[in-house]
A and B are shown apart, each in its own frame.
Chain A
Amino acid sequence: MITIQEKKYEDKDIHKILHPWVRQWFNSQFETFTESQRMALMDIHQGSNLLVSSPTGSGKTLTAFLSLISQLTYMSEMDMLEDKVYCIYISPLKALDNDIEKNLEEPLKGIEKIAGKELGIRKAVRTGDTSNYERSKMLKKPPHILITTPETLSILLVAPKFREKLQGVRYVIVDEIHSLADNKRGVHMSLTLERLQNIAGNFTRIGLSATVHPLEKMAEFLVGYENGNPRPCKIVDVNYLKKLDIKVLCPVEDIVEADPEETNDAMYDMLYSLIMEHKTTLIFTNTRSGTESVVFNLKRRFPEDFNETNIMAHHSSLSRELRLETENKLKDGELKVVVSSTSLELGIDIGYIDLVILVSSPKSVSRALQRIGRSGHRLHDKSKGRIIVVDRDDLVECSLILKNALEGKIDTINIPHNCLDVLSQHIYGMAIERKWDIDEAYELIRSSYPYREVTHNDFISVLSYLAGDYTSLEERYVYAKIWVDYDEHMFGKRGKLARMLYSTNIGTIPDRTAARVKCNGQVVGRIEEDFMEKLQKGDTFVLGGNIYRFNYARGMTVNVTPSSGPPTIPSWFSEQLPLSYDLAVDIQNFRDIMDGKFRMERSKEEIMDFIHEYLYVDYNAANSIYHYFREQYLYAQVPGLKNLLVEFYTGFGGRKFVVFHSLFGRRVNDALSRAVAYVIARKHHRDVMISVSDNGFYLSSDGKIGGLEAFKELTPENLEEILTLAIDKTETLAGRFRHCAGRSLMILRRYKGQEKSVGRQQVRGKILLKFVKDLDDNFSILKEARREVMEDYMDVKNAKKVLEMIQSGKMDLKQINTKIPTPFAFNLVAQGYLDVLKYEDRIEFIRRMHQAVINEIEG
């Protein structure tokens, strides 16, 4: 049962459960307990599972640790502390681990001072960086509080001696759990916790989370399932305590009319004034290249005020040393401004920030809150955030983010389910631990939240893969990682290298390296290796807003020259964050309301007042939004949830475009557009170009394509099947397959003492995919790659919901013909195509391309 904690305990109640030294130390440091401590400490003391969702500055560390420290103090006093781990703290970042160790130093020292003797409570950080010496020290004298990462913990589970030290674990604290839950790292951790529980017996689980929705789901993710029901957990939610001061800012008076350059200039002027008015400003952009460009431009435009010493960038492509330097300078208050993409979202200690600026939409309310929450250090400080918009669609989107943030409406979190690649890793790990009864293992796996519904068939298919059933008997000694005895109903590990292979290859983050892009000897940015592999001589592509021509690649450096014109390489490797579905639906609702107002012929004043009130934006912004929507209304109609507008127009050279105003976010549109394009291609055997954005998608072709008819053929029932076929030959699937093969340990990054380069893995990954497809179209790793593309990369579930809305008549399809695209379609049509879809076999493809090339040569 998941329940909301409603009890708040008085100081005197909490004092009773704390060791007198601990109580004394606490009182010497704090006046009283914070709200979250009042709601949490007692239950943690009693061993209840707890999910604490609270803003920064609410004393989270102590909420989680205080009761435990008190218990350890009791044990120390009674000389009952054993050489084993009592508590495991898990965080997604090594930096956070190090912070926590430092933060524990103070209470432990303080309590010892009061006690007047050493208590011998040990804590230690253990990550991939921990030296062999430290490790052996930890084995002799295990830390009572082990501070680690999800990956390292799963390695410890198979460490022959250290795992014995984990048998007495009573507490597990998972920090920043929200940042793990929505990806495979979290899925991986969830199984690790179940395996730990199998070794250690029941322990108390404490999750620390930022604001997410729904917290119940996060709680279930934390505690897992037992006998088909979630284990008990209480939720402590104290987010209402933090006051928000958020505004959306337009750099120019009328963003609809202003040209991009004007807007850009005005944006930097605005950034400048905001920074100068505050002590330390943290700016978030959505991409790493955006981060670089803001730093560069601030320095260039305001050289008197900004230079290397007071402005720095912080993102994941920068070296660890550089990032650490930035963090330290921030803590010491030396920086005026720091610009980041996502890397500073999580709770590493960065000192005092009094303003957070978001440049352009953060694409989800929770991300906006997370980012803005980095400002205002103490609990009762206001978090101050400013969102600067860059164009008219951005304005509408950010205004809705503002509305939802102020009204506490957070996007729903998506937790991946039944990931068979992560499952492979864990079954291998389990087999290394000991022999297992097949049913017992299946039960254990189903107690993890993401696997609570995994089918027996899928589970067996993973066992069968690991047992090497896809190879001949005599070869199996090379490929089989486990043995399975179906008669005895048991499985176990194979091979002497098993533990070593497991320990050096586990994890869920694919190896990715970025290549440096050099133009005239200057590094202008970085591109992913996957993208580099695609580039051929003469290709042009966009990087950091500029267009470059690819000349050649040497190792991990790409040489380019500036170019112009539309890029020849569509950027299907977009690092853009996708718009959250919930937010998209809210924008559509707003569109519907606006449509109604125009139809009812409300006055401009009335509508402006409405926008001002509804979206909490100033009249300037309200004016821009009013004009943007009115243009759309007068020209055609305002699309929304009630009406899905389908716009037909003919472009240059008679090229036909069908624009679907499906504002459901890029992940949903990716799924819908590819499925429609596939239906068309299958029917007409004709190229269909696709372009996808958060606000809709378009299809385009040389001739009539019947986009609407094809769209109507899609149903909630057939979507998944059609999409499976549509993605089959894409690079996206090939790339994801390689990652899944890595996670399933079919491609080993580290093998026989050698590290394999990513480049080689890529080429080989394709061979592997070909082999697997020929072997069995339902091979578990291939199945997982497809699931990952459709459910995690795209959003097939919500795409189905859209089709349901149409099927049930809640959403009408409205068709219009236009000579030039409507205002709402403008940004969408202006962007290049993403992919060309054509239904054909390899041989058809070759014949067609051959004919096309020959025609062109003879042309």
Chain B
Amino acid sequence: MQFKKIHSASIADLSLKVEDYLVISDLHLGYEQSLNAEGIMIPRFQYPLIIERLEEIQEKSSCSNIVVNGDLKHEFGQISRQEWNETQEFLEYLKANFDDIILIKGNHDNFTRFIAEKNNLQVEECYHIGDSLIMHGDKIPSYLDKTEAENLIIGHEHPCIGLRNGERVEKIKCYLSGKYKDWNLIVMPSFNFVTEGSDILQERPLSPFLKAIPGGDLEIYAVEDFEVFHFGRIKDITAVREKFY
């Protein structure tokens, strides 16, 4: 399958293919339970969807290694039994299907270490593949100045764009690409099926990387079921958006 390239990474649906690695981020396993706590009685439904999508991506991209770029699970604090089970099940799935498994720490991952260790896996701060540096992106690390990487790949932001026409609104997950200082920055969409994420045309960015980039100077690559839609820059869209209401 032919993939759209951004710098040295290729867009394979909700994951990036970098050399022989698939990079996915922000799975937020156990999100349903936190909705329950808010009074939204929605049962567990996204786990099978995640596995199904991952299988399809692996088949089409034929990568043998995987990087989970942070926020594997949802809760900040204590892990519920179900969350533990789901995460455990997922790690077992990865072990059975990938050779090398890299876990990167996200801001929700305070307790992920314990499950990882149980599975003989390490939780890393960041990971290098060729000229790309992969990290979660919730903070700008001090080691960044020393890196020789040219490309930075981050998650954390859950970017999506909202398209509106009349009464209909659809949100589509997207990648963002732009320049952070001298680096090429790629922001990944979230690999979960609970929400599309936060609309970058509407909401303020979360990640300090994006906050440092002048608003609107990011290229948008929306993805929907393996199809990629290059939309141009944020500011190009905001300039013409009014025409579609």
A contacts, CB < 8 Å to B: 468, 470-472, 475, 478-479, 534, 536-539, 568-570, 572, 687, 689, 729-732, 745-752, 754, 756, 760-761, 763-765, 767-768, 771, 774-775, 833-838, 842-843, 845-847, 849-850, 852-854, 856-857, 859
- Considering only CB atoms, which chain A residue lies closest to B168 in the complex? A729
CB distance from A256 to the nearest CB of B (A): 34
Return chain A residues, CB-CB under 8 Å to B245: 539, 568-570
- Whether B165 lies near A845 (C-beta < 8 A) is yes
Separation of A729 and B43 alpha carbons in the complex (Å): 23
Q: What are the nearest 3 A-B pairs in CB distance?
A: A836-B166, A748-B39, A751-B39
- Whether A751 lies near B38 (C-beta < 8 A) is yes
Return chain A residues, CB-CB under 8 Å to B243: 852, 856
Asked, given contacts A850-B229, A853-B244, whether A472 binds B43 with beta carbons under 8 Å apart, the answer is yes
- Whether B168 lies near A836 (C-beta < 8 A) is yes
- Whether A837 lies near B240 (C-beta < 8 A) is no
Separation of A848 and B237 alpha carbons in the complex (Å): 15
CB distance from B30 to the nearest CB of A (A): 12
20 pairs, A vs B, C-beta closer than 8 Å = A570-B167, A570-B245, A572-B167, A731-B169, A748-B40, A752-B37, A761-B40, A768-B42, A771-B42, A775-B45, A838-B168, A842-B224, A843-B224, A845-B163, A845-B165, A847-B227, A847-B229, A850-B222, A857-B232, A857-B239
CB distance from A437 to the nearest CB of B (A): 27
Which of A471, A568, A751, A845 contacts B170, CB < 8 Å?
A845
Return chain A residues, CB-CB under 8 Å to B213: none
Whether, in the assembled complex, B117 has its beta carbon less than 8 Å from a beta carbon of chain A, the answer is: no
Whether, in the assembled complex, B242 has its beta carbon less than 8 Å from a beta carbon of chain A, the answer is: yes
CB distance from B54 to the nearest CB of A (A): 18
Separation of A774 and B42 alpha carbons in the complex (Å): 13
- Whether B39 lies near A747 (C-beta < 8 A) is yes
Which residues 187-245 in B have Cβ within 8 Å of A in the complex? 194-195, 201-202, 222, 224-225, 227, 229, 231-232, 236-237, 239-245
- Considering only CB atoms, which chain B residue lies closest to A833 in the complex? B166
Return chain A residues, CB-CB under 8 Å to B41: 478-479, 745-748
Separation of A472 and B48 alpha carbons in the complex (Å): 13
- Whether A767 lies near B166 (C-beta < 8 A) is no
Which of A470, A747, A752, A756 contacts B43, CB < 8 Å?
A470
The number of inter-chain residue pairs (CB within 8 angstroms) is 135
Asked, given contacts A568-B242, A846-B224, A853-B244, whether A471 binds B163 with beta carbons under 8 Å apart, the answer is no
- Whether A479 lies near B35 (C-beta < 8 A) is no
- Whether B231 lies near A730 (C-beta < 8 A) is no
Whether, in the assembled complex, B172 has its beta carbon less than 8 Å from a beta carbon of chain A, the answer is: yes
Separation of A838 and B166 alpha carbons in the complex (Å): 10
- Considering only CB atoms, which chain A residue lies closest to B236 in the complex? A857
Whether, in the assembled complex, B97 has its beta carbon less than 8 Å from a beta carbon of chain A, the answer is: no
- Whether B244 lies near A767 (C-beta < 8 A) is no
- Considering only CB atoms, which chain A residue lies closest to B167 in the complex? A835
- Considering only CB atoms, which chain A residue lies closest to B224 in the complex? A846
Other A-B pairs beyond A537-B202, A765-B40, A846-B229, 6, CB < 8 Å = A536-B241, A746-B40, A768-B40, A838-B165, A853-B231, A856-B243
Whether, in the assembled complex, B119 has its beta carbon less than 8 Å from a beta carbon of chain A, the answer is: no
Whether, in the assembled complex, B36 has its beta carbon less than 8 Å from a beta carbon of chain A, the answer is: yes
Return chain B residues, CB-CB under 8 Å to A842: 170, 224
Which of B44, B164, B241 contacts A472, CB < 8 Å?
B44
Residue among A468, A763, A835, A853 with the most chain B CB within 10 A?
A: A853
- Whether A856 lies near B240 (C-beta < 8 A) is yes
- Considering only CB atoms, which chain B residue lies closest to A474 in the complex? B82
Asked, given contacts A764-B38, A767-B195, A768-B40, whether A846 binds B242 with beta carbons under 8 Å apart, the answer is no
- Considering only CB atoms, which chain B residue lies closest to A748 in the complex? B39
Separation of A133 and B164 alpha carbons in the complex (Å): 53
Which of B35, B170, B225, B237 contacts A853, CB < 8 Å?
B237
- Whether A760 lies near B240 (C-beta < 8 A) is no
Size bracket, chain B contacts:
35 or more
- Considering only CB atoms, which chain B residue lies closest to A851 in the complex? B229
Return chain B residues, CB-CB under 8 Å to A843: 224-225, 227
Separation of A857 and B36 alpha carbons in the complex (Å): 43
Which of B35, B39, B166, B172 contacts A750, CB < 8 Å?
B39
Separation of A492 and B245 alpha carbons in the complex (Å): 50
- Whether B222 lies near A471 (C-beta < 8 A) is no
Separation of A774 and B36 alpha carbons in the complex (Å): 19
Which residues 86-117 in B have Cβ within 8 Å of A in the complex? none
CB distance from B43 to the nearest CB of A (A): 4
CB distance from A748 to the nearest CB of B (A): 3
CB distance from A587 to the nearest CB of B (A): 29
Return chain B residues, CB-CB under 8 Å to A856: 240, 243
CB distance from A596 to the nearest CB of B (A): 41
CB distance from B35 to the nearest CB of A (A): 6
CB distance from A41 to the nearest CB of B (A): 49
Separation of A846 and B223 alpha carbons in the complex (Å): 10
- Whether B231 lies near A854 (C-beta < 8 A) is yes
Separation of A49 and B237 alpha carbons in the complex (Å): 66
Separation of A570 and B167 alpha carbons in the complex (Å): 8
Asked, given contacts A471-B43, A479-B43, whether A849 binds B38 with beta carbons under 8 Å apart, the answer is no
- Considering only CB atoms, which chain B residue lies closest to A732 in the complex? B167
Return chain A residues, CB-CB under 8 Å to B244: 849, 852-853
Return chain A residues, CB-CB under 8 Å to B231: 850, 853-854
- Considering only CB atoms, which chain B residue lies closest to A539 in the complex? B245
Asked, given contacts A838-B165, A845-B165, whether A859 binds B240 with beta carbons under 8 Å apart, the answer is yes
Return chain A residues, CB-CB under 8 Å to B164: 536
Separation of A852 and B172 alpha carbons in the complex (Å): 16
CB distance from A753 to the nearest CB of B (A): 11
CB distance from A526 to the nearest CB of B (A): 22
Separation of A470 and B194 alpha carbons in the complex (Å): 17
Separation of A687 and B168 alpha carbons in the complex (Å): 12
- Whether B38 lies near A756 (C-beta < 8 A) is yes
CB distance from B129 to the nearest CB of A (A): 30
- Whether B44 lies near A475 (C-beta < 8 A) is yes
Return chain B residues, CB-CB under 8 Å to A768: 40, 42
Return chain A residues, CB-CB under 8 Å to B222: 846, 850
Separation of A771 and B163 alpha carbons in the complex (Å): 21
Return chain B residues, CB-CB under 8 Å to A751: 37-39
Separation of A836 and B164 alpha carbons in the complex (Å): 11
- Whether B240 lies near A853 (C-beta < 8 A) is yes
Return chain B residues, CB-CB under 8 Å to A852: 243-244
- Considering only CB atoms, which chain B residue lies closest to A751 in the complex? B39
- Whether A836 lies near B167 (C-beta < 8 A) is yes
Return chain B residues, CB-CB under 8 Å to A847: 227, 229
Which of B40, B165, B170 contacts A767, CB < 8 Å?
B40
Which of B166, B170, B202, B242 contacts A835, CB < 8 Å?
B166
Return chain A residues, CB-CB under 8 Å to B42: 746, 764, 767-768, 771
- Whether A730 lies near B168 (C-beta < 8 A) is yes
Return chain B residues, CB-CB under 8 Å to A730: 167-168
Residue among B39, B42, B225 with the most chain A CB within 10 A?
A: B39
Return chain A residues, CB-CB under 8 Å to B40: 746-748, 761, 764-765, 767-768
Which residues 144-174 in B have Cβ within 8 Å of A in the complex? 163-170, 172
CB distance from B202 to the nearest CB of A (A): 6
Separation of A747 and B41 alpha carbons in the complex (Å): 6
Separation of A569 and B236 alpha carbons in the complex (Å): 21
CB distance from B14 to the nearest CB of A (A): 15
Separation of A746 and B165 alpha carbons in the complex (Å): 30
- Whether B44 lies near A846 (C-beta < 8 A) is no
Return chain B residues, CB-CB under 8 Å to A838: 165-166, 168
Separation of A847 and B163 alpha carbons in the complex (Å): 11
CB distance from B244 to the nearest CB of A (A): 7
Return chain A residues, CB-CB under 8 Å to B44: 471-472, 475
- Whether B194 lies near A767 (C-beta < 8 A) is yes
Return chain B residues, CB-CB under 8 Å to A731: 167-169
Separation of A750 and B39 alpha carbons in the complex (Å): 7
Separation of A468 and B36 alpha carbons in the complex (Å): 14
Separation of A296 and B191 alpha carbons in the complex (Å): 53
Residue among B37, B44, B167, B232 with the most chain A CB within 10 A?
A: B167
- Considering only CB atoms, which chain B residue lies closest to A845 in the complex? B170
